[in-house]
Structure 1
C-alpha cells in the first residue's frame, strides 16, 4: 500500500516530525511504500479559497500523492489545545477526493501530558473530508517526547510502553487501510 505521512510542524527538530519519521519506518518495514511530506522542509503557500497557490509545485505534489494514497498519517504538535496552523493550512488545500474512504491515523506531540485536543480536532476534520479515522491514535507529551528524541535508550524501561503503543497504532492503522482498500 501507499501511505502518505504529513508532518505539521514549522520547526526543524520537532518531536511530532520525529514521531512521524518513526511511524514511517515502522510502516516501511511492513513492506509498504511511505511518502513523507515534512511541512517544515517543504512549506506551502497560505491557502486562499480564491484558488491562489493551487498552482504551487509543492501543493500539486501533495495533492497528487494524496490522490494515490491508500492511507494517510497526520502528525501535529499541539499548540494552544489545537493542531498546528501549518497542518491546517495543508489540509485546506485538500478535499474529499483526497481522503474519501481512506484510513487516517492521527498523531500529536504536546509539551504537556498529552495532546488529545488536537487529535479530536484532526478526527473531526477527517470525518468532514470523508476519511475513516483509525480507532487508535498516538499522543506523546512531557518526558515521553524526550524518550522519542533520544531513541528510548536512556530511560527506565527503554521507553517500551511508548514504543509498544506506536507499534499497536501502526498495526491497527495498516489493518484498517487494508480492509478499506479490500485487501
Structure 2
C-alpha cells in the first residue's frame, strides 16, 4: 500500500506539517510506503484553467496522487478555511485522480480546533469524488499540543491520532481490496 501525504502550508516549520510528519512515522511503522509532499518546499504556480501545460512540480504532485492508494491532506486553518497553498494544489486535481480513494483530513488552528478548515476540505474531496475518512485530526496550535517533531504532547491526543490513522489505514485496505488496485 502507498499513501500520499500533502502538507498544505507554505510556512516553514508549520504545526500542520509537523503533525503530518508524525502521521508519516505512524504509517512507516506499519510498513506502509509514504510519499510526502511539502508545499513549502515544492511550490506550485497559481492554477489557471487556461493553462494545462503543467509545471514539473505540479506534474510531480499529480503523479504522487495517482500513484497512492490513499491521500492525507494537512492544512493550517486560515480565516476558517484551508490554506491558499493547499487550495491551489487541489485546484489542479481532476475527479478521476482521486475518485474512489480514501482521504484523511488533518488541520491545525491558532484556536482550540480547526473544524471549519476540515469541513471545507472534506467538501472539496467530495467534489473530487474521493471518499472522506469518517474521522479527522484537528489540533489547536495555540495550546502547545504538539512537540517540534509533531508528536502530540497529550497522551489522549496521541492515542486519538493513532486511532484515526489506523481507521484510515483500515478504510484504505478495504477500498483497495474491493477494487483490487493495491499499489
TM-score relative to the length of structure 1 = 0.92
Q: SS at the partner of 1:4?
A: strand
Cα pair distance change 1:51/1:152, threshold 3 Å: closer
Aligned length: 178
Q: For 1:25-174, what aligned pairs fall within 5 Å after superposition? A: 25-51=25-51, 54-144=53-143, 146-150=144-148, 158-174=153-169
Q: Which runs of 5+ in 2 are unaligned?
A: 179-183
TM-score relative to the length of structure 2 = 0.92
Alpha carbons 1:152, 1:160 under 8 Å: kept:
no
Q: Does 1:177 align with 2:175?
A: no
Q: How big is the shift at 1:147?
A: 3.1
- In the other structure, the counterpart of 1:13 is 13
Alpha-carbon distance in 2 for matches of 1:5, 1:49? 24
Alpha-carbon distance in 2 for matches of 1:104, 1:152? 20
Alpha-carbon distance in 2 for matches of 1:29, 1:83? 29
Alpha carbons 1:152, 1:159 under 8 Å: kept:
no
* Runs of 4+ that moved beyond 6 A: none
Higher relative contact order (CA 8 A, sep 6+): 2
Q: How big is the shift at 1:2?
A: 0.7
Alpha carbons 2:21, 2:149 under 8 Å: kept:
no
Q: How big is the shift at 1:55?
A: 2.5
Q: Which runs of 5+ in 1 are unaligned?
A: none
Alpha-carbon distance in 1 for matches of 2:46, 2:147? 30
